[in-house]
């Protein structure tokens, strides 16, 4: 397919528009041959069947979207949580779903049971309120969540403390951040107690990620916008189930990281909220390379020297770079939402006297995406 597509200059992708997913949607993972989406604004978890999706591809290669046919199961979170939006979630290979609610400062637990062969029925199990004593009148919220520990028998939750600057808390500043290690009951995987509270050196820890090729655990801190910069914190998982701080890679001020993406055996990509830069971390050397997508020139260039992000774009809707998707054979796909284009690119390491001097990201193929206005996410199933 790649050889055939490289002869084309136009893509007509399939979409999941019929599912009614909102603009703020995350992929929690896969379970029972389905991809599981978290729609934050709608307060809904939706699983889309892979086999149904494959069977819905028409002769011209375009996906025919039929919600009744594609949706394997759903969870409507609103009857239990009202207007409170889930912040993040994770799903395990054994069918345990954990969701965080920032405003409520709690973690929610569901079990995905196979009631009859081939049919998944979600069942609510329990909730766990963090309820930590805040300092200096700070408010706190649970953000990202991930199964952790050397034996994967703990649940890690990033926890953010912030201070309201007005009555309605429309303006606020970030204080401390922690990674909370919660105990899991061995048989049911239910949340039991707070095992550890590990303070991070940077504020606004909003993302946890396990780098697939290496198995290493990372926390991304977005920082305090315009004041303190963010960074990436290596987390060491000890045999007793606790965590320890590893290396810390600081990012430029206003490099407000939103998501981490595996880009290879030793590469971790960082996408940001409001500008067109892709930060690439070498997970072995703890070094940083920065690339910028220039939509008007249809190029990706490596940023040399110091990076000043004070002129960053005001919102994600103004940015061109909206998603990065790793492909096979060391290729990555960059999504230009503003220009409705995709760029397949390849990393190339430049060596000087047998020492890696720097890394470039070269575009090897580009295509226009037709039929979609301002595409924002890519999904490979």
Percent of the chain with pLDDT over 90: 44
Tell me, what's the pLDDT at 230?
Answer: 83
Tell me, what's the pLDDT at 16?
Answer: 75
Tell me, what's the pLDDT at 3?
Answer: 44
Q: From CA 37, how far away is CA 254, in angstroms rounded?
A: 28
Tell me, what's the pLDDT at 135?
Answer: 56
Q: Does residue 173 or residue 106 have the better pLDDT?
A: 106
Q: Is the pLDDT of residue 120 over 90?
A: yes
Tell me, what's the pLDDT at 310?
Answer: 62
Task: Measure Cα distances from 289 to 8, 44, 171, 196, 261 in Å.
Answer: 31, 37, 32, 33, 15
Tell me, what's the pLDDT at 262?
Answer: 95
Q: Is the pLDDT of residue 190 over 80?
A: yes
pTM for this prediction = 0.88
Q: Is the pLDDT of residue 4 over 60?
A: no
Q: Is the pLDDT of residue 354 over 50?
A: no
Tell me, what's the pLDDT at 355?
Answer: 47
From 93-102, 120-129, 236-245, 319-328, the region with the lowest mean pLDDT: 319-328
Residue 206 burial class via C-beta count within 10 angstroms: exposed 0-12, middle 13-18, buried 19 and up: buried
Q: From CA 142, how far away is CA 135, in angstroms rounded?
A: 16
Which pLDDT band, with edges at 50, 70 and 90, does 154 fall under?
Answer: very high
Q: Is the pLDDT of residue 87 over 60?
A: yes
Query: What are the tens digits of pLDDT across the range 286-321?
Result: 999 999 888 888 888 888 877 766 665 556 666 788
Task: Measure Cα distances from 260 to 230, 267, 273, 314, 355 in Å.
Answer: 13, 10, 12, 21, 27
């Amino acid at each position: 397919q790649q050889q055939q597509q490289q002869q084309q200059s136009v893509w007509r992708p399939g979409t999941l528009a019929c599912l009614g997913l909102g603009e703020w949607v995350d992929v929690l993972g896969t379970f029972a041959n389905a991809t599981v989406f978290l729609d934050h604004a709608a307060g809904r978890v939706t699983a889309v069947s892979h086999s149904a999706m494959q069977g819905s591809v028409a002769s011209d290669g375009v996906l025919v979207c039929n919600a009744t046919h594609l949706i394997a199961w759903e969870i409507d979170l609103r009857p239990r949580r009202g207007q409170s939006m889930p912040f993040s979630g994770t799903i395990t290979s054994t069918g345990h779903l954990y969701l965080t609610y920032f405003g409520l400062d709690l973690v929610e637990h569901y079990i995905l049971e196979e009631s009859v062969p081939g049919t998944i029925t979600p069942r609510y199990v329990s909730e766990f309120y963090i309820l930590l004593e805040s300092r200096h009148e700070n408010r706190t919220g649970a953000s990202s969540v991930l199964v952790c520990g050397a034996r994967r028998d703990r649940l890690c939750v990033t926890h953010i403390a912030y201070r309201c600057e007005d009555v309605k808390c429309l303006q606020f500043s970030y204080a401390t951040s922690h990674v909370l290690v919660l105990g899991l009951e061995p048989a049911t995987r239910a949340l039991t107690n707070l095992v550890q509270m590990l303070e991070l050196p940077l504020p606004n820890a909003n993302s946890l990620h396990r780098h697939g090729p290496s198995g290493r655990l990372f926390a991304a801190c977005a920082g305090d916008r315009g004041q303190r910069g963010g960074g990436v914190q290596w987390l060491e998982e000890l045999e007793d189930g606790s965590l320890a701080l590893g290396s810390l890679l600081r990012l430029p001020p206003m490099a407000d990281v939103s998501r981490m993406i595996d880009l290879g055996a030793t590469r971790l990509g960082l996408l940001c909220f409001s500008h067109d830069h892709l930060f690439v971390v070498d997970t072995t050397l703890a070094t940083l390379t920065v690339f910028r997508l220039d939509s008007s020139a249809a190029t990706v260039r490596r940023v040399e020297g110091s990076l000043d992000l004070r002129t960053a774009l005001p919102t994600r809707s103004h940015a061109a770079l909206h998603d990065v998707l790793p492909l096979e054979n060391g290729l990555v796909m960059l999504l230009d939402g503003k220009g409705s284009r995709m760029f397949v690119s390849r990393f190339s390491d430049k060596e000087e006297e047998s020492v890696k001097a720097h890394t470039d990201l070269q575009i090897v193929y580009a295509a226009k995406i037709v039929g979609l206005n301002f595409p924002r996410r890519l999904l490979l199933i």
